[in-house]
Amino acid sequence: MTNPCPCGLPEPYADCCGRFHRGDQNAPTAERLMRSRYCAFAVGEPDYLLDTWHPDTRPKRLRLDPAQEWTRLEILGRTGGSLLQNEGTVEFRAHYRHQGRDDSQHENSRFVREGGRWYYVDAR
C-alpha cells in the first residue's frame, strides 16, 4: 500500500503500522500501539489485536465484522505512554461506516509496557 496508513500518519501502511503487524518491530509508545491497533481493525488483523491485548484482559478470540469499514482516527489526548514510561492512556475517536451509516467510537484506552512491549489493557 502506498496510500497513507489508515492510522492517520502520512507514511505508507508497510512502513508505518505494517511493520508492527508483521512483527518486524514493536510499537515504541502507547500512542503508536493504539494507532497500530486501530489500523489492525481497518485492515483486518485480528491476530495482532489479540497479541497486543494484555493477557489479564484479553478475550479468547476476536471476530472482526467485515461489513464495518473504519474510516478515520482522531487522537484527542494522551497521558504518559512515552519511550521512558510504563503506563499511559490514549483518548481517541474512531470513525467507521456500518450498514450505510456513519458512526464513531469514543474511548480512553489504558496501556502498560511489560518486558519492553506495550499492551492494551482496557478502556475507560
Q: What CATH number should be reported for the domain whose range is 13-123?
A: 3.10.450.50
Do residues 86 and 112 lie in contact, with contact meaning Cβ atoms separated by under 8 Å?
yes
Under the banding of pLDDT at 50, 70 and 90, the label for residue 124 is confident
Q: DSSP code of 38? A: H
- Give strand pairing partners of 105: 94
- Is a pLDDT exceeding 60 seen at residue 1? no
Q: Is 97 helix (H, G, I), strand (E, B) or coil?
A: strand
What distance in Å separates the CA atoms of residue 89 and residue 81, rounded to the nearest whole number? 7
Under the banding of pLDDT at 50, 70 and 90, the label for residue 44 is very high
Under the banding of pLDDT at 50, 70 and 90, the label for residue 3 is confident
Mean confidence (pLDDT) of the chain: 96
Do residues 40 and 17 lie in contact, with contact meaning Cβ atoms separated by under 8 Å?
yes
Q: Is 57 helix (H, G, I), strand (E, B) or coil?
A: coil
Domain ranges for the chain, please list them.
Answer: 13-123
- Is a pLDDT exceeding 60 seen at residue 112? yes
Q: Residue 29: its pLDDT value, please?
A: 98
What distance in Å separates the CA atoms of residue 108 and residue 91, rounded to the nearest whole number? 4
- Read off the pLDDT of residues 68-110 as tens digits, 9 standing for 90 and up: 999 999 999 999 999 999 999 999 999 999 999 999 999 999 9
Q: What Rg value do the Cα atoms of the chain yield, rounded? A: 14
Strands (DSSP E) found in the chain: 68-80, 87-98, 101-114, 117-123
